[in-house]
């Protein structure tokens, strides 16, 4: 508080209001005093009232939201996110997945996914990679266009469809025939198709190389544990 010209104490800024019960200067409902700027800053979007950006006291709609304890509120239905326009919990749009109240994009060509590297359904004209981490165009010499969500013909100047001729194939000479594999040291092309030399390994679409089956499982376990730790 400061003295004004009349010798009366008042709050430093017009944003703050004096509480005669607690004898403190408070921000309006839905805002909190920012210690760095000395001004009032808004709570996070889904929080109705807060004492700081990371400490929410109540949600804007407790019937559909719950307080995460991290300054924000998210939908009680974990498969949905809160929409500030409709004031309701809605599913993420196609090609996105919800995580802690935010929609994130799936991998390339994936229309529905549980997480970024766990695709459930591809867009029309595509199929899942063997490890379900991404989608591949059905027809050779086509590439996925993320704007139209369709597989389109490659540029004639680039006849080798990078990663879209056959799974694990870097350069293809004709539809269904692979000339060069991505992981050349650990893959072999037989009958025009690429496969891992080591039968204990499988091709990872996202890493563009052969990985141990056990490593893939361990990676999935680490991902799950990380999610639980963040809750």
**Same domain, residue pair 115 and 224:** yes
Q: Write out the chain's pLDDT in tens, 231 residues.
A: 443 445 456 676 565 665 666 666 788 889 998 888 778 899 988 899 998 888 999 999 988 999 988 888 999 998 899 998 888 999 999 999 999 889 999 988 899 999 888 899 999 999 998 888 888 888 766 778 888 888 877 654 444 444 445 667 777 766 557 777 888 888 887 776 788 998 888 877 667 788 887 544 444 433 333 333 334
**Same domain, residue pair 90 and 111:** no
**Same domain, residue pair 90 and 102:** no
Which is it for strands 209-212 and 65-67: parallel, antiparallel or unpaired?
unpaired
Global pTM value: 0.56
Distance of alpha carbon 100 from alpha carbon 68, whole angstroms: 9
Residue pair 33/27 in contact (Cβ under 8 Å)? The answer is yes
Choose one of 95, 114, 148: the last residue of a domain: 95
Number of domains forming the structure of the chain: 2
**Same domain, residue pair 59 and 171:** no
| The three-state (H, E, C) secondary structure of 64-90, written as one string | CEEECCCCCEEECCCCEEEECCCCEEE
């Amino acid at each position: 508080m400061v003295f004004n010209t009349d010798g009366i104490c008042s709050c430093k800024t017009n944003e703050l209001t004096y509480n005669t019960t607690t004898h403190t200067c408070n921000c309006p409902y839905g805002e909190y005093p920012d210690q760095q700027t000395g001004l009032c800053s808004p709570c996070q979007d889904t929080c109705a009232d807060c004492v700081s950006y990371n400490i929410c006291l109540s949600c804007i709609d407790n019937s559909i939201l719950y307080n995460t304890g991290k300054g924000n509120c998210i939908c009680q239905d974990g498969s949905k996110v809160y929409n500030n326009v409709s004031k309701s919990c809605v599913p993420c749009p196609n090609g996105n997945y919800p995580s802690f109240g935010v929609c994130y994009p799936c991998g390339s060509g994936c229309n529905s996914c549980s997480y970024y590297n766990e695709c459930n359904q591809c867009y029309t004209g595509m199929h899942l990679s063997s490890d379900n981490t991404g989608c591949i165009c059905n027809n050779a010499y086509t590439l996925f266009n993320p704007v139209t969500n369709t597989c389109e013909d490659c540029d004639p100047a680039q006849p080798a469809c990078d990663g879209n001729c056959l799974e694990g194939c870097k350069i293809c000479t004709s539809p269904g025939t692979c000339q060069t594999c991505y992981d050349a040291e650990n893959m072999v092309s037989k009958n025009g198709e690429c496969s891992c030399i080591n039968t204990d390994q499988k091709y990872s679409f996202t890493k563009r190389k052969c990985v141990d089956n056990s490593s893939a499982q361990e990676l999935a376990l680490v991902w799950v544990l990380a999610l639980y730790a963040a809750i």
